[in-house]
């Protein structure tokens, strides 16, 4: 009798393992994950996006009434409208109409892709698979970057560029620091829940080392914000824990920064350049900011000239020569084409989509905060890694990658979809 029972349990266990590995069940989560996995490889991420867009269009055509009845879909549509409508209005009188209208048309793909995600990721199992696979992927990217820091090449034989680590993103792509900082909550929250605070601390330290060594100062700030977010979650209502966490973070950050300063001339140069901001004169501040003051001055002139709907989405680079100063270093360094984008989120919104774009962004932030406050504790717990990632991605007091660019907008909307899927239909009753 016992042997029959044991054999039955073994059969059930094997069936469950097979069920977990069955691609026929997990293919929706795999498609969503493929977007992230292919992100470092130029435009290959467009392939899973295209597949999801076609399926999402089918869902919109056949079940739009039921979809509109779901809170998660309505929330996503509101976010999409806050983004797409200002971009469309900016293209009406854009300085480079073809480029702006092309971008507006390209952004439309996020709508059916979002519908696909919300239909399939309403299943907690799909979301858990996606979260686990994404956390593992980001952890692998971090390990790959540490290998590159130690040996000069990563696991694929890619060397780092002259002035920073780039890991899986390649020598001509400087986005590693930004991406790791933004996606760090997916890893940190996963290991915290699965293995507790000791493993969380180890993961935090390794990711901190990667972000410091990459040398992207906006990445440093984003990871600092993530740190504050986790100190708040860990020490909420417990002042002693605030002090303990603050001391531990300060020690870890100082140790890694000092070690990097001693052994990495590139990192030492970035730290020295950052400290120039305390000298106070405009030339030192400009050097500390990576020569961005001329860009921001040109952006201010663009805003004065095109205050309502901007120069057109993705039109900054085309308008820049007409607003650059006579001694603008970006005109000399970029073959007289100038800067490609404003390098600051609020300025990019105002220059490319005007006051309308800034109001759309403010409305999206208000919607996100209002929705978050309405969630139950369980729903907040499910959505917290994606909410943290989005929060630091659009934190306005920082320098930024181009918000409307193909790369950064794709990562942003990937996170928006996962946030809406995790929290959309879990309001407090």
Render pLDDT for 282-297 as a digit per residue (tens, 0 to 9): 565 556 556 788 899 9
Q: Is residue 79 very low, low, confident or very high in pLDDT (cuts 50, 70, 90)?
A: very high
Q: What is the mean pLDDT of residues 235-261?
A: 65
**Dist CA 32 CA 418 (whole Å):** 9
- Confidence class for position 172, pLDDT limits 50, 70, 90: confident
Write down the pLDDT at residue 143: 94
β-pair partners for 427: 375
CA 194 to centroid of chain Cα atoms: 23
Higher-confidence residue: 66 or 244? Answer: 66
Longest Cα–Cα distance of the chain, Å, equals: 91
Q: Are 173 and 406 in contact (CB under 8 A)?
A: no
> For the chain, what is the radius of gyration of the CA atoms?
23
Q: Enter the tokens of residue 291.
A: 């020569």
Using CA atoms, how far apart are residues 82 and 85, in angstroms rounded to an integer? 6
Asked if the model's pLDDT at residue 229 lies above 90, the reply is no
Q: Tell me the pLDDT band of 161, cut-offs 50, 70 and 90.
A: confident
Tokens 């390209």 belong to which residue?
106
Confidence bin at 234 (pLDDT 50/70/90): confident
Structure letter (DSSP) for residue 96: S
Q: Which of 314, 348, 400, 409 is nearest to 109 (CA)?
A: 409
Q: Smallest Cα–Cα separation from 389: which of 232, 198, 180?
A: 180
Whats the size of the chain, residue-wise? 429
Three-state SS at 336 = coil
Averaged confidence pLDDT in the chain: 84
pLDDT, tens only, 97-144 = 999 999 999 999 999 999 999 999 988 889 999 999 999 999 999 999
Residue (of 71, 61, 77) closest to 114 by Cα position: 77
* Location of structure tokens 């650059």: 324
pLDDT tier at 6 (50, 70, 90 boundaries)?
very low
8 band by pLDDT with thresholds 50, 70 and 90: very low
Give percent above pLDDT 90 in the chain.
51
Instruction: Report the pLDDT value the prediction gives residue 259, as an integer from 0 to 100.
Output: 65
Q: Which residues, listed in sequence order, are joined to residue 159 by a DSSP beta bridge?
A: 153
Question: What is the percentage of the chain residues whose pLDDT exceeds 70?
Answer: 79
Question: Which pLDDT band holds residue 384 (cuts at 50, 70, 90)?
Answer: very high
Q: 12-26, 181-195, 238-252, 361-375: which range is least confident on average?
A: 12-26
Does the pLDDT value for residue 187 go beyond 80? yes
Give the whole-angstrom CA distance, residue 383 versus residue 378: 9
If one compares 80 and 241, the residue with the highest pLDDT of the two is: 80
Residue 17 has pLDDT above 60, yes or no: no
Range 258-279 average pLDDT: 61
331-353 pLDDT tens trace: 776 555 678 889 999 999 999 99
Pair of tokens at residue 206: 């390794």
- pLDDT class of 263 with cuts at 50, 70, 90: low
């Amino acid at each position: 009798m016992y042997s029959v029972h044991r054999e039955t349990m073994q059969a059930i266990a094997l069936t469950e393992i097979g069920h977990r590995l069955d691609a026929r069940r997990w293919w929706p989560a795999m498609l969503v994950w493929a977007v992230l996995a292919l992100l470092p490889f130029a435009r290959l991420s467009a392939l899973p996006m295209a597949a999801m867009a076609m399926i999402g269009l089918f869902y919109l055509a056949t079940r739009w009434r039921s979809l509109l009845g779901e809170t998660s879909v309505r929330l996503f549509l509101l976010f999409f409208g806050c983004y797409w409508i200002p971009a469309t209005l900016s293209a009406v009188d854009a300085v480079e109409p073809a480029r702006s209208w092309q971008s507006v048309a390209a952004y439309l793909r996020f709508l059916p892709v979002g519908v696909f995600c919300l239909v399939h990721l309403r299943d907690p199992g799909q979301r858990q698979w996606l979260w686990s696979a994404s956390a593992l992927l980001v952890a692998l990217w971090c390990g790959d970057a540490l290998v590159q820091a130690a040996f000069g090449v990563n696991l694929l034989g890619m060397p780092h560029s002259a002035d920073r680590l780039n890991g899986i993103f390649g020598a001509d792509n400087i986005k590693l620091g930004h991406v790791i900082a933004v996606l760090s909550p997916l890893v940190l929250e996963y290991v915290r829940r699965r293995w507790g605070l000791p493993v969380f601390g180890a993961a935090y330290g390794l990711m901190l080392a990667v972000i410091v060594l990459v040398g992207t100062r906006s990445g440093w700030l984003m990871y600092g914000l993530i740190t504050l977010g986790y100190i708040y979650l860990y020490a909420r209502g417990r002042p002693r824990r605030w002090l303990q966490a603050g001391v531990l973070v300060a020690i870890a950050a100082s140790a890694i920064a000092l070690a990097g300063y001693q052994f990495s001339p590139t990192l030492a140069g970035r730290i020295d350049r950052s400290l120039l901001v305390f000298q106070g004169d405009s030339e030192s501040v400009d050097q500390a900011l990576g020569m961005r003051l001329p860009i921001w001055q040109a952006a201010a002139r663009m805003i004065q000239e095109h205050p309502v709907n901007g120069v057109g989405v993705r039109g900054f680079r085309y308008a820049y020569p007409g607003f650059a100063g006579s001694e603008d270093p970006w005109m000399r360094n970029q073959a007289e084409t100038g800067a490609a984008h404003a390098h600051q989120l609020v300025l990019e919104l105002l220059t490319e989509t005007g006051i309308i774009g800034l109001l759309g962004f403010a409305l999206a932030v208000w919607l996100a905060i209002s929705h978050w406050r309405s969630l139950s504790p369980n729903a907040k717990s499910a959505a917290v890694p994606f909410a943290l990632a989005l929060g630091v991605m659009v934190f306005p007091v920082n320098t930024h990658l181009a918000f409307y660019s193909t790369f950064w907008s794709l990562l942003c909307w990937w996170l928006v979809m996962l946030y809406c899927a995790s929290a959309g239909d879990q309001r407090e009753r």
